[in-house]
Amino acid sequence: MKFRFIFQAFGLFLFLGAPVAIGQSCGVGTDAEIVLMLDRTGSMEPSDIAEEKEAAFEFIRFFENAQARPRIALGSFHSLSVPGYAQEGYENLYLYNGVEYSHARIHHQLTTDYEELYPLLSNSTTIPLWGNGGTNIAQMIRVGETELLERGDPSKRRILIALTDGEPSQPGWYTYPCHPDPCNCTPAVDFATSSASIARSNGVEIFTIYYGGAGSGRYDCEAEGIKLLKEEIVSAPVSSHFVDGNSALSEVFVALAGQLSCDDGKSCTEDRCEGNQCVFIEKDSDQDGISDCDFYRCETYDQSPKLTKLDQGVKKQEALILWLVKKMGLGTFTTLDQHQISSVLDEAHRLQIEGWVLSWQFPQFPTTCEIRTGCEVRESYDTKSNYILKSRGLLKLSRGVARKLENILASRDGQLGMHQEWILGRFTKKAKKLFRKNLRVLKRVKIVDMECHV
C-alpha cells in the first residue's frame, strides 16, 4: 500500500514525494507592498474581531527580523446606514446625521516601522471589538488599491489581503444584506466584482481569507460568500489566493506571510515556510504524474544580436559586389556592359532586401521548454531555408559578376593586369567567407519558439 501524507495551509497541499527545492530562510526579504484590510461589520462577533487583530499582529511580527522588511498598511471596513447611497455615485466618504463616515479606511499608511502598527491592533479605539453595519467589499478593495497605487513601489508586488465573510451589503442598507434575497444581492455583488476586476487590472494581487459570521448570523449565506470571494474577487491561481480561515486564523496568516516571503515567482510551485526554511513544492494539478513545472521549465532568449548579424550579413554581401564594380571602373565600360552589370546590381539588391526581411522573421525572443505537451510550437524551418537561398543567391551573383568583369576587362585590355587579378581573387575569397559566416550565424539561431500552458 502506498501512503501519502498531506499537509495543508492557505489552500496548498504538500505531497510526500513531490519534487522540492530549498530556498532562502523565511522572512529574509519580501519583495512586496502589503495592505491588510480587517472586517468589523455587523456579522463579526467581538471574539471574531479580537482574533482578526491577533492574526494581523502575528502576520506583521513574522517580518520583524527580515533584512528587507515589506511595507505594510493596516485598514478596516464597515458601513453605517446611508439612505440613497446607491444613487450618490458609490463614494467611500458619506455624511450620516451630519457626521462624515467612510465605508473603508486606512488606519496607517504603508510603513516598515511595525512599532507604529502594533498599538493600533492592541487598543480598542482604532478597531473596536464590536462589529456593526454593512459589508462594502467594493470600497474595501478600492481603498486598499488606492493605498498601493498612490504610495506603493511599482517595482514590487502590490498585495491586498482582505479578511471578510464575503457577504456584501447593498449600498445604502443597514444590517440586512439585501432585501428580499439576502444571499444574492446583485447590486452589491456587481459593485464588488467590478472593483476587484479593476484592481487586478491595475496590478494589485488580491488575497481573500474567508472568516466570520456569514454562516452563523441572521442569514446563512456562507456558500454564496465563499463563491463570490473565490470566483470573482481573488487573483489567480485561486489555490494560493483564497483560504477559509475559520479553523485557525492566526496560523493561516502566518502561513500566508511565509508564502509571501518565500515567493519564487512560479505559479507551478507551492511556496512554503517549513522550519524557517523556504521550500518550493512542485504541484501536479491534474494528478497525471507530471509536475506542473514541466510546463514552466522554459527558457527565453534574446537573439536579436544574432538576427542583426544575419541582417548585416546579406547587406555585406551586396556591399561587396558594389565595391568590386566600383573598383573595376564601371564608368569606363560600354553602354551594353554597364546595362548588364546594372541588372546584376539590381538583382543583388533584391536578394539583400529579401534576406534582410527574412532575418527578422525568426523569433526575436524564442522560448524553449523541456517538454512539448500542451505547448504551441512555432517552427521557422521555411524561413531558414529561404534565407539560405538568398545568401547563396548573392554568392552566385558575386561569382557571376566577377567572371563578367574578368571577361569585359580581358576583352577590352587584352589581358588582366596583376592588380586586377589580385582584386578579383581577393573578392572571390571574401564572397565565400561572407556566405559561410552567414551559415555559421544561422546555425546558432533558434528557429523553434514555444508557448506552453498548464
Segments making up each domain of the chain, as ranges = 27-261, 299-452
The pLDDT of residue 330 is: 67
The pLDDT of residue 45 is: 87
Residue 117's nearest CA partner among 40, 58, 51, 39 is 58
The pLDDT of residue 291 is: 74
In angstroms, the CA 222 to CA 71 distance is 32
Most confidently modeled range among 74-78, 263-267, 450-454: 74-78
> Which has the minimum average pLDDT: 186-200, 351-365, 388-402, 403-417?
403-417
Most confidently modeled range among 219-223, 292-296, 349-353: 349-353
- Which comes out higher in pLDDT, residue 65 or 80? 65
For residue 71, pLDDT beyond 70? yes
Residue 285's nearest CA partner among 270, 271, 297 is 270
The mean pLDDT of 328-335, rounded to a whole number, is 72
In angstroms, the CA 143 to CA 150 distance is 11
Confidence tier at 114 by pLDDT (50, 70, 90): very high
- Strands (E) across 90-143 are located at 93-96, 99-102, 104-111
The pLDDT of residue 12 is: 38
- Which comes out higher in pLDDT, residue 264 or 189? 189
Per-chain mean pLDDT for the chain:
82
In angstroms, the CA 157 to CA 171 distance is 31
> In sequence order, which residues have a C-beta less than 8 Å from that of residue 420 and are 6 or more positions away?
328, 409
- Strands (E) across 40-92 are located at 71-77
The pLDDT of residue 5 is: 32
CB atoms within 10 A of CB 34: 28
For residue 160, pLDDT beyond 60? yes
In angstroms, the CA 270 to CA 19 distance is 11
- Which comes out higher in pLDDT, residue 335 or 389? 389
**Beta strand pairing call for 157-164 and 204-210:** parallel
Contact in structure between 270 and 20 (CB atoms under 8 Å):
no
Helix/strand/coil for 6: strand
In angstroms, the CA 166 to CA 159 distance is 18
Which three cell numbers, joined as nine digits, stand for 154?
Answer: 511599482
What phi and psi values does residue 420 have, to the nearest 5 degrees? Answer: -65, -40
In angstroms, the CA 243 to CA 250 distance is 12
Q: What is the DSSP letter of 132?
A: -
> Which has the minimum average pLDDT: 69-73, 210-214, 324-328, 422-426?
210-214
Which three cell numbers, joined as nine digits, stand for 432?
Answer: 565565400
The mean pLDDT of 200-225, rounded to a whole number, is 76
Confidence tier at 89 by pLDDT (50, 70, 90): very low
The pLDDT of residue 105 is: 95
- Which comes out higher in pLDDT, residue 438 or 247? 438
The pLDDT of residue 182 is: 60
Residue 167's nearest CA partner among 216, 134, 133, 195 is 134
Question: Residue holding cell 480587517?
Answer: 38
The pLDDT of residue 452 is: 65
The pLDDT of residue 84 is: 47
Task: Classify domain 27-261 by CATH number.
Answer: 3.40.50.410
The pLDDT of residue 135 is: 84
For residue 241, pLDDT beyond 70? yes
The pLDDT of residue 104 is: 92
Distances (CA, A) of 106 to 76, 117, 144, 254, 383: 7, 11, 8, 22, 57
Contact in structure between 416 and 424 (CB atoms under 8 Å):
yes
The residue type of 178 is C
The mean pLDDT of 226-230, rounded to a whole number, is 88
Contact in structure between 172 and 86 (CB atoms under 8 Å):
yes
- Strands (E) across 324-406 are located at 367-369, 375-379
> Which has the minimum average pLDDT: 35-49, 85-99, 436-450?
85-99
Q: What is the pTM for the complete model shown?
A: 0.59
What phi and psi values does residue 81 have, to the nearest 5 degrees? Answer: -70, 130
Confidence tier at 178 by pLDDT (50, 70, 90): low
The pLDDT of residue 337 is: 78
**Beta strand pairing call for 93-96 and 99-102:** antiparallel
The mean pLDDT of 51-57, rounded to a whole number, is 95
The mean pLDDT of 226-241, rounded to a whole number, is 87
> In sequence order, which residues have a C-beta less than 8 Å from that of residue 7 and are 6 or more positions away?
13, 14
Percent of the chain with pLDDT strictly greater than 70 = 83
The pLDDT of residue 129 is: 87
For residue 57, pLDDT beyond 90? yes
Question: Residue holding cell 533584391?
Answer: 350
